[in-house]
Amino acid sequence: MEIREALKTRRSIRAYEDRAVPRGVIEDLLDCARWSPSARNVQPWSFVVITDKEMLRQIAEIADYGKFIATAPACIAVLCEDGRYYVEDGSIVSYAILLAAWDHGLGTCWVAGDKKPYAPKIAALLGAPESMRLVSLIALGYPAQQPSVTKKPLDSLVHWEKW
């Protein structure tokens, strides 16, 4: 898949087929993501891959707007070492996971982490050290839906030289 096609066609998927995502595919997503840029090349990220149904259910129960995580075959928690740019670094690596997954024919949905009051509780549930911050939860699986969305026209968003 060409990168422009991935950028224009990837959508948030909240319903998944009942089939496992192969471990090798998940490892490839994370291998692609680890090449993401980070401030001063600190690479503060770590990933927790969750496939256990009970753990997925517990995470879904805790996360606002993430109830569908319980029905996903997998979820990737993106955590970053606390530091000045951990949100930016964790966000770009999360987006790389979304794009790599789409290239593999997988659907994803990014569920907020960092600013949510439940973030420390999920990080603790996952056994993360206290110095790590949950940036995102990424539900992952083969899409059982393909939502259509509309986007604002480009000319309503772009300003040349000045607003």
Per-residue pLDDT of 44-103, as tens digits, reads 999 999 999 999 999 999 999 999 999 999 999 999 999 999 999 999 999 999 999 999
Domain residue extents for the chain: 3-156
> In the chain, what percentage of residues exceed pLDDT 90?
98
Residue 33 has which token pair?
């993501």
pLDDT-derived band at 126, boundaries 50, 70, 90: very high
3-156 folds as NADH Oxidase (3.40.109)
Answering whether pTM is above 0.85, one says yes
Separation between Cα atoms, residue 124 and residue 60, nearest integer Å? 15
Residue 160, phi then psi, degrees to nearest 5: -100, 130
Give the torsion sign (CA, 159, 86, 62, 98). positive
Can you give the pLDDT at residue 1?
86
| CA-to-CA separations, 37 to 40, 42, 92, in angstroms, rounded | 9, 9, 8
> Residue 133: pLDDT above 90?
yes
Can you give the pLDDT at residue 73?
98
> In the chain, what percentage of residues exceed pLDDT 70?
100
Length of the chain measured in residues: 163
> Residue 109: pLDDT above 90?
yes
Asked if 102 contacts 9 with a C-beta cutoff of 8 angstroms, the reply is: yes
Asked if 145 contacts 14 with a C-beta cutoff of 8 angstroms, the reply is: yes
- Tokens 């401030």 label which residue? 39
Mean pLDDT of all residues in the chain?
97
Q: For 127-151, what is the mean pLDDT?
A: 96
Half-sphere exposure of 158 (CA within 13 A, CB side): 4
